[in-house]
Amino acid sequence: MTTVAIKPIRTETDYATSLALLETLMDAEPNSTESDYLGVLAALIEQYEDKRFPIAAPTPLGAIRFRMEQLNLNARDLIPYIGSRARVSEVLNGQRSLSIDMVRALNKHLHIPADVLIGEDEPKPLSAKTFSKPVESLLTTWNILKHKESFDSFLKRAFGEKRSLAMLRQTKTPRTNAKTDVTALQAWCAASVLKSKGTDLLGTFHQDRFDASTLREIAKLSVHDNGPALAKTYLSKIGISLVVLPHLPNTHLDGAATIRDDGVPVISMTLRRNRVDNFWFTLLHECAHVAYHLGNNDVTLIVDDLEISSSDDVENEADTEAQNALIPQSVWRNFNCGKFCSSANIDELAKMSGVNPAIVAGRWQKENNDFRKFSKMLGHGTVRDQFPDFESL
């Protein structure tokens, strides 16, 4: 055989030529010059293919289906590892995430790598048919969804063409539940934005004027019995729309912060806990997102289930800013009130901080991991009635 100079593969033409040459070398004798050429050429081709045609890591669902095909298993065969037939169906249809017990069982018995099973499945492409019946019914009842309006059109009406396409890919942040229905979550965010567009604001938003001191002023409104309603008016005067809207099924949501296509910040809240302490922490958390995070790195939407802890820097900063706005860190640190804290102590710290005692009681419960003590001080059932538009939904 006439030897050919082997060179790096840089183009499709080089690739095609190399494949043709590889085919002529396939019958080379072991330990021959041709065999050496074959080994080098195969390595170059493999290197090019890895760069040109990268193979994505398998998703959990993809790995399960691949193993089922390898072992000739059907859905019924997965019941011992996943649970009931209905649960297996939900997992295989992408409607249920794998639990730790499922991961362990699939790893042990089907030998699927655990690091693959705890990965994330690719989001399903969303289409005009992705509204669930309960979500569609509620949005229609709220007079937010138009008659026969598709999911795609609904998002475009709320966010515009460019933003809606980004949302259609996936809406997921570090503070969302693994079981969250992403489609319903997107629909709720769109509904909140559309609802905000129906109310005129009393002022114009200026990013450079919205900072920690402003958050502190908002927190001090909590001392008033109608503090939540006053906060809505205050935010309107500085150009921020506050929307309260019940959460949709399987959204597991406390609040969200976003920017409308006209530049207006929107803070949305579900009031799912209907407690004074929860309202103020959620509000200040979302205010912190508006002040420090929206607009950075093209971030235009942040959604939060505040029952979920997060190691994300953005979420940690929002938590810290909200805590400091409600109870300045110097006040909290110097007020040594441990497990023997009394209701009088709570009232005293609230006066020192200039906030509602419910806020202090809620902070004490979380810091001390005791959610029974001071539970009567949290202002249960007193927030929603300050928002007539929420109560009418």
Per-residue pLDDT of the chain (393 residues; tens, 9 = 90+): 445 567 788 887 887 788 777 767 766 676 777 777 777 877 887 777 666 655 555 788 888 988 888 888 888 899 999 988 888 887 887 777 888 888 888 988 898 888 888 876 554 444 444 678 888 899 999 999 998 898 889 988 998 876 655 554 455 567 777 677 888 888 999 999 999 998 899 999 999 999 999 999 999 999 999 999 999 999 999 999 999 999 898 888 899 999 998 999 999 999 999 999 999 999 999 999 999 998 887 788 899 988 887 777 889 999 999 999 999 999 998 886 777 899 999 999 999 999 999 999 999 999 888 888 999 999 999 999 999 887 666
Cα distance between residue 247 and residue 307, in whole Å: 15
294 C-beta neighbours (distance < 10 Å), count: 18
* 175 in Cβ contact with 307 (< 8 Å): no
DSSP state of 211: S
Q: Could you tell me the two tokens for 329?
A: 């860190």
- Per-residue confidence (pLDDT) for residue 164, from 0 to 100: 55
Task: Give the model's pLDDT for residue 52.
Answer: 65
CA dist., res. 100 & res. 121, Å (int): 16
Tokens matching residue 55: 């193979």
Could you give the CA distance from residue 25 to residue 36 in angstroms, rounded to a whole number?
10
The rounded distance, in Å, linking the Cα atoms of 369 and 243 is: 31
Task: Strands of 239-365 (E only): list them.
Answer: 241-244, 255-259, 265-269, 301-304
pLDDT at 387: 93
What are the residues facing 301 on neighbouring strands?
258
Look at residue 168 in the predicted model and tell me its pLDDT. Answer: 46
Per the structure block, which two tokens stand in for 337? 């009130």
DSSP SS3 for 249: coil
